Amino acid sequence: MRIGWVRLAVAAGAPLLLAACASSRSLDRSVADLSANTQIQGVLFSDRTHDYSDVDITIFEGRLMLTGTMRSEDGRGKLLDNAWKARGVSQVIDEILIDEKTSFGQGFEDARIDQTLRAKLIAAGDVASTRYKFSVSKAMVYIIGAARDQAERDRALELARTVAGVEQVVSHIALRLPGDAQ
């Protein structure tokens, strides 16, 4: 029975590792981001003082971007405190809105925007889609990543802006300087 669980764990983890290897990011950084994501989700799940169900967590190369809504400034503050508890987080980007939870209809529209943008980034020959992660909340697209150059950054933002229904695009895209680790 124990060998069955080991095989299951290897089979479940293999696609994640292969996806990390296929991207231009290092395997170590991808695994560290996955670990930080798991840690912050655990911290938020165990904190019953606030409702974090409308918060999205996006991590790219140690940069943690928080998007979505909290009902109070106190809750937002607690969320930010919790965000720093994950090992490997070098920056916390606060894009949390103090607002009501996203409605079902808006959540459905956000999911449509997400899938459309994901497809556009993959199809674009001039953008390395693995260099970007994004979150959609209330028709706003928040992008984090690392562009090879200004032209790629501009193109990724243009693709996001041209998705039907997008009201605003917020960029947290860093530019890679020549000689930076890929």
DSSP per-residue letters across the chain: -HHHHHHHHHHHHHHHHHHHHHSSS-HHHHHHHHHHHHHHHHHHHH-TTS--TTEEEEEETTEEEEEEEESSHHHHHHHHHHHTTSTT--EEEEEEEESPPPPHHHHHHHHHHHHHHHHHHHH-TTS-GGGEEEEEETTEEEEEEEESSHHHHHHHHHHHHTSTT--EEEEEEEEPPTT---
Pair (46, 62) in one structural domain: yes
Whether 17 is covered by a domain: the verdict is: no
Whether 9 is covered by a domain: the verdict is: no
Pair (171, 108) in one structural domain: yes
- The pLDDT-based confidence of 161 (bands split at 50, 70, 90) is very high
Would you state the pLDDT for residue 180? 61
Q: Are strands 63-70 and 55-60 parallel, antiparallel or unpaired?
A: antiparallel
Whether 1 is covered by a domain: the verdict is: no
* Mean pLDDT score, 32-60: 89
Strongest mean pLDDT among 1-5, 38-42, 44-48, 165-169: 165-169
Structural domain ending residue among the three candidates 64, 98, 132: 98
Q: What is the DSSP string of 67-82?
A: EEEESSHHHHHHHHHH
- CATH number of the domain encompassing residue 150: 3.30.1340
Pair (108, 94) in one structural domain: no
Structural domain ending residue among the three candidates 48, 80, 98: 98
10 Å CB burial of residue 1 (0-12, 13-18, 19+) is exposed
Would you state the pLDDT for residue 20? 43
Whether 20 is covered by a domain: the verdict is: no
Whether 7 is covered by a domain: the verdict is: no
Pair (118, 88) in one structural domain: no
Structural domain ending residue among the three candidates 68, 98, 128: 98
Would you state the pLDDT for residue 40? 86
Lowest-confidence region among 22-26, 47-51, 60-64, 106-110: 22-26
Domain with 66, as residue range(s), is 25-98
- The pLDDT-based confidence of 160 (bands split at 50, 70, 90) is very high
- CATH number of the domain encompassing residue 74: 3.30.1340.30
Pair (30, 92) in one structural domain: yes
Pair (90, 39) in one structural domain: yes
Pair (80, 134) in one structural domain: no
Would you state the pLDDT for residue 14? 45
Pair (29, 93) in one structural domain: yes
Would you state the pLDDT for residue 21? 42
**pLDDT higher at 158 or 27:** 158
- The pLDDT-based confidence of 26 (bands split at 50, 70, 90) is low
Strongest mean pLDDT among 18-32, 39-53, 129-143: 129-143
Whether 131 is covered by a domain: the verdict is: yes
d(C-alpha 119, C-alpha 116), whole Å: 5
Pair (46, 93) in one structural domain: yes
Q: What is the DSSP string of 40-75?
A: HHHHHHH-TTS--TTEEEEEETTEEEEEEEESSHHH
pLDDT tens digits along 83-130: 998 888 999 999 999 999 999 999 999 999 999 999 999 999 999 999
Taking all residues of the chain, what is their mean pLDDT, rounded to a whole number? 85
